[in-house]
Amino acid sequence: MNKNTLLLVNLHKHIDFPFLDDKLETQQARMAAAYIPTVTSFGMIVLKNTPTKGTETEILGVNSRNTYAHGCAIAGTRWYSYASVDQDFADAMTFQERTALLTDSEADGYPHFIKCVKRCYSKKLANMSADAAEMYIANALFDFTKLMKKLRPMLLVANRANVDGALPWSFPKGRGSPGEKHRYHTQEDFEIAVAMRETLEETMVTKHMYDVQHQIPPFVIRYVDMGIRYELKLYYAIAHDSIQFGINADDEDQTDEVSDLRWLTKTSLSALPLCSITREHFLGNFDAIDAHYLKYAHRAAPVESLRSSFVGPTALPARFVPVEELAVRAPADAALVDEKKAVALAQAPAKKLYVPPSRRGDPRVYVPQDAFVPPRKSSSRSPQRRSAYQPKSYTSSKSVDFGGAKGRSQGEWRKPETSAPAGSK
């Protein structure tokens, strides 16, 4: 980041612009009231045991590394509105997060904020040029310094009161990339692929360690937080006995997002310190998740039938078939398909080139001798059919000038004269 950008940011940190800030707050409040954006995520409910009545269901839970309030402060103005930045917003952060923000606002260069921005928008910045990425970070830093002017006193009050927010518990979930959807056959395939990818990135659980229950519709959770409408679509999966999950210390992408993984029941989750989002939408929907599964459990088909229906030359991406089965069955199926294709090509008649009627007389178009030229259809106005509609001659009683030839009386129709046959008088 160049010196001019840092100078402007530092000036804005120490100099107040009350009129400009009030105008921006009013404008953003109007925009938030007029339009609430929707953020849709796709996740996976990994069940350790099949839900049954009378037993507690165990779900694989993910404990985030940061609170939602800290993520909104880093992500920028799209994820928060100034009307929502109050004391509750500061209290929702952990003591460590508040201390890092306060220390970063006093340091030169804002190392903590720039590191978090580069991590959150790594894919977006990778597709930009160096100048565009630098400008993007500078704009985000400008918004952050403007936010800290209002948030700093609240952070100090929360730290003096020794308030420590709780890290949220949730399911493995995430959002898809803009250009990712077109690679899948249906919307459901795209959503399940995103959920499986996020499950692998956050828990290190591969797709061979669970079976996705495709016949059960997703469980949908909707809520509004910080002026944004969130929609979470969760698909069900039953874990195998050999499932293993954990946190890889060498994987920065995982350690930046996840702090803990464990099996959770309703009783064990209620005993943990919970934030408001976890208490309302995870713990509050625990019974509804079981009821939704039991409602559609009779529709679920055996996994083997699903695998057999998708094995073949036109199969979708192998999400039902383990790698071992594909390695054994693929060569036989491929040879059979090649043999059938060869027989079909040998028996099929040779295709001829079709030349459209509009280009048949064009000398620039090469027409081979075996080209397919369909016969012209007889027109409804052909001479053979036109005679049937030729009107008979008659004489009109009205005097109408038809603009005929010289010598023709007005209003008189005469039959066209025909030449007499040879030999007649």
Kindly write down the DSSP assignment for every residue of 284-308, as one continuous string. TTHHHHHHHHHHHGGGPPPHHHHHH
Q: Is 281 exposed, middle or buried (0-12, 13-18, 19+ CB in 10 A)?
A: middle
Q: Which of 171, 172, 158, 168 is nearest to 69 (CA)?
A: 168
Residue 260: C-alpha distances to residues 24, 141, 170, 416 (Å):
39, 30, 11, 103
| Pairwise CA distance, residues 334 & 312, whole Å | 8
| Residue type at 209 in one-letter notation | M
**CATH 3.90.79.10 domain span(s) along the chain:** 3-299
Query: In the numeric block, which tokens belong to residue 235?
Result: 């698909």
> How many C-beta atoms surround the C-beta of residue 84 within 10 A?
15
CA angle 276, 278, 282 (to 5 degrees): 135
At residue 323, the pLDDT reads: 38
Query: In the numeric block, which tokens belong to residue 337?
Result: 């398909």
Q: pLDDT (tens digit, 9 = 90+) per residue, 83-100?
A: 678 888 899 999 999 999
| Pairwise CA distance, residues 280 & 232, whole Å | 14
Reported pTM = 0.63
Phi, psi of 176 (to 5 degrees): -85, 160
Low-confidence ranges of the chain (pLDDT < 70): 1-36, 81-83, 300-342, 344-425
At residue 380, the pLDDT reads: 52
Query: In the numeric block, which tokens belong to residue 155?
Result: 């952070």
Contacts of 393 (CB under 8 A, 6+ apart): 413, 414, 415
Q: Which of 187, 196, 286 is nearest to 237 (CA)?
A: 196
At residue 210, the pLDDT reads: 94
Contact in structure between 104 and 117 (CB atoms under 8 Å)? no
Strands (E), 226-362: 228-239, 258-264
At residue 231, the pLDDT reads: 92
At residue 225, the pLDDT reads: 81
> Which CATH number is 3-299's, of 3.30.2350.10, 3.90.79.10, 1.10.3720.10, 1.10.357.10?
3.90.79.10
At residue 311, the pLDDT reads: 36
| Pairwise CA distance, residues 340 & 318, whole Å | 23
Q: pLDDT (tens digit, 9 = 90+) per residue, 110-126?
A: 888 998 898 888 888 88
Q: Map tokens 């880093």 to a residue.
A: 74
Contact in structure between 39 and 25 (CB atoms under 8 Å)? no
